[in-house]
Amino acid sequence: MDNRFIEAFSKYDMKVDQNAVKAIVKKAENDAEKGKNKETLKKIFSCIDLTTLKPTDNEDSVLAFVEKVNSFEDRFPDMPSVASICTYPCYASLVSRSLEVESVKTCCVSAGFPSAQTFFEVKVAETSLAIHDGADEIDIVQNAGRILNEDYETLAEETDEIKEVCGEKTLKVIIETGALGTLDNVKKAALLAMYSGADFIKTSTGKEVPGADPESFCVMCQAIKEYYGETGRKVGIKAAGGISNPKEALLYWTIAGNILGKEWLDNTSFRIGASRLANSILKEITSEVHF
């Protein structure tokens, strides 16, 4: 292992106490049930990255998706808008040009999503093109295979250069927790992403391996807290992969609040990547669906 990563990791307890994590999740489950109300659900709704990443996406379907966001405020004036629309990078221009809601960001997956198994030059070029075409936020995947064989230097260099391409735009790094095998690896991956420039760390692509799970999310939040204490840099957290109903969303919201504090509970520092969750929350609050 490169000396600089030995030095960085030495500042943290890299052995995760699984029993302690389970206890934190259990408490959050109880707190989430008590804290359920319409106002909290509205706040969670405002943190959704509304996502369409289907093989059947095309210009017409993506445009229709954007128009649903554009018309949302008139139909539901008492609801906040979602945080962003997330698509494949080839639709960045279409989304950014068509999106009429100023508060909603254009988000694109990039850099060989969902596996990150492509040439580094392709990752950089794809990200650069998405930014050029209007993306405000970029979600990339950290190569899980390189974490498992401890090739931290390559991962760090890739993330650092992609962040340089992003500039002031938001970079979210997907840890793909379901592929890493242990919570210790999740913590290593989270810290590596943050030390390499991630503005957010994210649980999963929701594509090839198991998605978000509360234990991994808990470890990621703890890593953010420790990193913030060590460096003073605030990194956001995003849960994604299979979160489809208000009960699940409330659990992740509560875990983040319990570990990181209320200052993380807005869409500048907390996101949920979802395609079905928006309608589930909307139906709970208004008895209607829209997306």
27 is catalytic: no
34 is catalytic: no
Q: How crowded is residue 100: how many other Cβ atoms within 10 Å of its Cβ? A: 11
Report the C-alpha gap between 264 and 243 in whole angstroms: 19
CB of 154 within 8 A of CB of 186? no
User: What φ, ψ does residue 149 adopt, rounded to 5°?
Assistant: -100, 15
202 is catalytic: yes
Residue 23 CB partners (closer than 8 Å, separation 6+): none
Helix (H) or strand (E) holding 270: strand 270-274
Catalytic residue among 123, 163, 172, 238: 238
Rg (CA), the chain: 18
Report the C-alpha gap between 208 and 177 in whole angstroms: 11
Q: How far separated are the first and last CA of the chain, in Å rounded?
A: 47
Report the C-alpha gap between 235 and 170 in whole angstroms: 11
3-state secondary structure of 102: coil
Catalytic residue among 49, 133, 136, 139: 139
Report the C-alpha gap between 235 and 220 in whole angstroms: 11
Catalytic residue among 133, 188, 202, 213: 202
Q: Which residues are catalytic?
A: 139, 202, 238
